[in-house]
Structure 1
């Protein structure tokens, strides 16, 4: 069995979980010479970036993959990283490697006739607590209350909110508003539901402010964890914060590779390491980071707020890991979750389980890929 073709598609779609704002990502389709197809994703975000990654995949990386045995996932991963030592290890190339690696794991599972989690050593747990992961309507406390009450009514026992549909008033930018938002969530979900809050990027917190806010938020709502209160590179600030509070601290979603995560883990200041297989060198890279975190006694969490492909890959990793606390889901049906695949992932009574089909276990509807695909000529439309 050999890789016969590698294709990439930039797709864009309105995200109902972000007030219909347009989001984009890059999907990668790998086909073998005997007809097996694997799918992967890069969580690229911007439309121009999604197009650029698609170009890099097809012109820079595909020639290194075509002709290889897709079941030799680690070997291909090493080859891609070695060949891109100058232009990779972060950015567009690493996005592309992440998507290709995910697609190869999908093929490897299909070739073996087993779910991805089996290739990772099997499930450590049959199911995981599902967490409704939402963007705050920071300017409308009544809406926050309605939305979070609905999550609990749907069976969620963990909820997370952060950032903001309007980034000018995003969570983290105003102390009084931040506390009001957090209290609105706690009032809506009651005392028994775990609450996580996520500080918007570029909020400008330093360690002193993070300590004050963490204490105030924890006193007000009893946080399950506080996410991204400081830039990831501010390890000294994270050490000061961790030493001053008893709240779990989570960060890591912006990381690209193991050396970055080694710094987070060895700082001993991060309780929950956030990793995204659509960014952090795929399933292969993410699994190595998860094992590193587990060896240090740290939990990990999947940053999988994207398509059903990333969700599926992350869920297999989460089920196979010993150090997973919960699993986040978009609480409102989304095109890249509920149209892209014919068997979307969801929770049952607040619990979520990995798909049991071979590979990633989700079936892509290629007509949907074509429907949402766009090119450079579409950028101004």
Structure 2
């Protein structure tokens, strides 16, 4: 079997309303899918992390840089191809967009391997340690409105997320330390007794401001404080973890095993959040997961993007060993964006229907049993939303 083409599909549509987080506001939803074709008619699908113009730049890397390196190769040699691409591009970026682009290609190669074997990804990895995954919902995005309006809306959205059946709710912060505590208090009061609540700062604080917010989260009982400071500030992460009760989480902006080695040896995370569509794909994710568990750091994957990303993460969470083991082990959760996302809800020939599963099962989602990541995108849907570049 040989690879005959590597295609990039950047999809985009206008959201019903503007959304924001601590770094920016945005009006469009973007997804970047990768399609790897073979001479035996087997096609694999992957996804690259990165919105907007980042996805457009990554498309060029996928098609103009990575495709020539792997064209004509056996797609089953995915680890060989991963290292060939990495070694030939490492002088131009061991992190960032080259790794995001490689991630989508690698996920597609794993999808091909699953289809050749007739097995879902979790079976290729070693089997399912769990047959269903608890799901938490995030929403409560920032908008161009007053603090008072944010507080009222966050209360409503948190209540809606819990009513949907999710096991927890996560909010965004970034209005300012004092204002953010008001948002956190509103969500904590709404979720109390119904599940966990988590806070995602998207690295907007200095270390002193993160301490200010973090001490409030200690009192409010937050489960984790996500990306409180810049990803480069390893000392800040370590200081926060040592002094606060709330779990410090992060890592979505880190790449490959070498970057993760630095984070883990620094002992700055209570919970690791690797992003498989960014750090180097499934091949590298499995190495990072092993590093995390070798440092006794539990993992809850960062999940953002289309149904391809969601299905891939469900497979990986199913295959994740309990850490530590026991009769009632600590369990990972699936992250689910509750805002409008056609690329997750409508992309597939057979939708995952995460919301429906969560509502009917008390907060859980089942593992797709089809080969590869277990889902097939709709070609007509892709043609409709693909932007012309």
When the two structures are superposed, what TM-score results if normalisation uses the length of structure 2?
0.89
Give the corresponding residue for 1:260. Answer: 259
After superposition, the C-alpha distances for 1:330-368 in whole angstroms (9 at most, x for unaligned) are 224521101111233314320122211110111100111
Of residues 64, 67, 72 in structure 2, which corresponds to 1:67?
72
Question: What is the rounded CA distance, in whole Å, between the counterparts of 1:131 and 1:30 in structure 2?
Answer: 32
Give the corresponding residue for 1:177. Answer: 179
Q: Does 1:209 align with 2:209?
A: yes
Moved more, 134-143 or 118-127: 134-143
Of residues 149, 153, 177 in structure 2, which corresponds to 1:143?
153
Using the TM superposition, give the Cα deviation of residue 24 of structure 1 relative to its aligned residue in structure 2, in angstroms: 2.0
Give the corresponding residue for 2:371. Answer: 358
Q: Does 1:326 align with 2:299?
A: no
Moved more, 147-156 or 337-346: 337-346
Give the corresponding residue for 1:23. Answer: 29
Of residues 43, 47, 63 in structure 2, which corresponds to 1:41?
47
Moved more, 138-147 or 292-301: 138-147
Give the corresponding residue for 2:239. Answer: 240
Q: Does 1:335 align with 2:342?
A: yes
Q: Does 1:4 align with 2:9?
A: no
Please say if residues 198 and 228 of structure 1, whose CA atoms lie closer than 8 Å, have aligned partners that are also in contact. yes
Please say if residues 272 and 297 of structure 2, whose CA atoms lie closer than 8 Å, have aligned partners that are also in contact. yes
Of residues 50, 54, 62 in structure 2, which corresponds to 1:57?
62
Q: Report the 3-state secondary structure (helix = DSSP H, G, I; strand = E; otherwise coil) of the residue aligned with 1:191.
A: coil
Matches within 5 A, 1:46-195: 46-47=52-53, 49-137=54-142, 139-162=149-172, 171-195=173-197
Question: What is the rounded CA distance, in whole Å, between the counterparts of 2:319 and 2:351 in structure 1?
Answer: 20
Please say if residues 17 and 134 of structure 1, whose CA atoms lie closer than 8 Å, have aligned partners that are also in contact. no
Gaps of at least 5 residues in structure 1 are 163-170, 377-381
**CA distance 1:333–1:25, change in 2 (3 Å):** closer
Q: Report the 3-state secondary structure (helix = DSSP H, G, I; strand = E; otherwise coil) of the residue aligned with 2:93.
A: coil
Using the TM superposition, give the Cα deviation of residue 266 of structure 1 relative to its aligned residue in structure 2, in angstroms: 0.9
Question: What is the rounded CA distance, in whole Å, between the counterparts of 2:17 and 2:279 in structure 1?
Answer: 24
Please say if residues 253 and 274 of structure 1, whose CA atoms lie closer than 8 Å, have aligned partners that are also in contact. yes
Aligned length: 364
**CA distance 1:75–1:195, change in 2 (3 Å):** same
After superposition, the C-alpha distances for 1:110-136 in whole angstroms (9 at most, x for unaligned) are 110010111111111111210002243
**CA distance 1:343–1:205, change in 2 (3 Å):** farther
Question: What is the rounded CA distance, in whole Å, between the counterparts of 1:238 and 1:147 in structure 2?
Answer: 29
Question: What is the rounded CA distance, in whole Å, between the counterparts of 2:312 and 2:120 in structure 1?
Answer: 10
Question: What is the rounded CA distance, in whole Å, between the counterparts of 1:25 and 1:279 in structure 2?
Answer: 13
Give the corresponding residue for 2:351. Answer: 344
Q: Report the 3-state secondary structure (helix = DSSP H, G, I; strand = E; otherwise coil) of the residue aligned with 1:300.
A: coil
Q: Report the 3-state secondary structure (helix = DSSP H, G, I; strand = E; otherwise coil) of the residue aligned with 1:259.
A: helix
Question: What is the rounded CA distance, in whole Å, between the counterparts of 2:106 and 2:222 in structure 1?
Answer: 35
**CA distance 1:355–1:242, change in 2 (3 Å):** same
**CA distance 1:123–1:16, change in 2 (3 Å):** farther
Question: What is the rounded CA distance, in whole Å, between the counterparts of 1:17 and 1:342 in structure 2?
Answer: 27
Using the TM superposition, give the Cα deviation of residue 65 of structure 1 relative to its aligned residue in structure 2, in angstroms: 1.6
Please say if residues 16 and 334 of structure 1, whose CA atoms lie closer than 8 Å, have aligned partners that are also in contact. no
Question: What is the rounded CA distance, in whole Å, between the counterparts of 1:99 and 1:81 in structure 2?
Answer: 13
Give the corresponding residue for 2:327. Answer: none
